[in-house]
Amino acid sequence: MKFIETKGARLPALGFGTWPLIGADGARTVRTAIDVGYRHIDTAQLYGNEADVGKGIKDSQVPRGELWVTTKLSRDHLGAADVARSTDESLRKLGLDYLDLLLIHWPSKTVSLAETLAAMTRLRDSGKTRFIGVSNFTTGLLDEAVRLADILCNQVEYHPFLDQRAVLGATRKHGLFLTAYSPVARGQVPNDKTLQGIGKKYGKTAAQVALRWLMEQDNVAAIPKAGSREHMKANIDIFDFALAPEDRAAIDALRGDGRIVDIAGWSPEWDR
Ligand code: NAP
């Protein structure tokens, strides 16, 4: 496993994404992921699955201190009072005393960033979350956020078909880490001929190649979601090979405008 170590945090760089897992099946899937070896779990208020994720965590019987748990504040919970109240509710649903990381899920167009980050900082100071951060923030929004608060991370879409050099550069400049969501591009990666071809050289699949490519980048974490034990195991079985420079370059060359998650009314003006 690769670990990210920055600003006093230490977490497994490869985590497990839990959207759209839900209900008893969702809880079982989270427990299976922990059994398989995942120790970093990503959820969000918006996913409606915090209680199921919490059940999966509880059933795993893995000590709390060995897990890294991230959740995210919904867009309608960014006012100061809502930050405090909804985080308490997230903790209750998850069955946890504290979060490792609390993120702003999407930037707000109505509530000031200063208000939200001040409320989140108070939660961190009170011990309800160890770290705070943001998601779907552009370079400009990130500059603003680091002026207002001590944040740890920016979670954004990142995979071989999306060029994120600008936001990754800004993330590193500020000493933060970037968590890549949709890291296997929701199934596009496994079907890509170039990635499949590279994988053949190493006895690995296209998904494993793409995840390895992310893991080989400084300050980058990734949170693939997988429904089956087979995919879960494959996605974490990427720490026994290294990409040759020419293969890394071939994957770099795929990067383009392949954004998948773009929500009208929510998305900021993305960096180009
Ligand atoms: P993803 O992880 O790139 O793709 C998940 C899809 O890929 C599933 O259909 C899964 O199938 C398939 N898959 C996974 N591993 C595979 C493998 N080894 N071989 C073949 N297929 C494989 O996309 P995502 O779910 O959008 O993103 C991951 C996580 O990021 C989410 O669960 C969520 O926690 C987070 N996220 C955050 C935001 C945000 O705004 N911050 C937005 C989107 C997502 P199976 O289920 O059948 O295994």
Using CB atoms within 10 Å of the CB of residue 105, give its burial: 0 to 12 exposed, 13 to 18 middle, 19+ buried.
Answer: buried
Instruction: Give the single-character DSSP code of 182.
Output: S
pLDDT in tens, 170-199: 999 999 999 999 999 999 999 999 999 999
Q: Answer yes or no: is the C-beta of 155 below 6 A from any ligand 1 atom.
A: yes
Query: Collapsing DSSP states into helix, strand and coil, what is residue 38?
Result: coil
The alpha carbon of 221 and the centre of ligand 1 are apart by a number of angstroms equal to 14
User: pTM score, two decimals?
Assistant: 0.98
**What pLDDT shows up at residue 272?**
77
pLDDT for the residue 87: 98
Whether residue 179 has its Cβ less than 6 Å from ligand 1: no
Domain 3-187+217-241 homologous superfamily, CATH: NADP-dependent oxidoreductase domain (3.20.20.100)
> Does residue 222 surpass a pLDDT of 80?
yes
* Domain-wise residue ranges, the chain: 3-187+217-241
Strands (E), 92-142: 99-104, 129-135
Report how far residue 185's alpha carbon sits from residue 227's, in angstroms, rounded to the nearest whole number: 15
Residues 152-161 pLDDT 10s: 999 999 999 9
Distance from the alpha carbon of residue 151 to the mean position of ligand 1, in angstroms: 25
Quick: pLDDT tens for 81-95.
Answer: 999 999 999 999 999
Q: Which residue has the tokens 């923030």?
A: 137
Q: Is 38 labeled as catalytic in the residue annotation? A: no
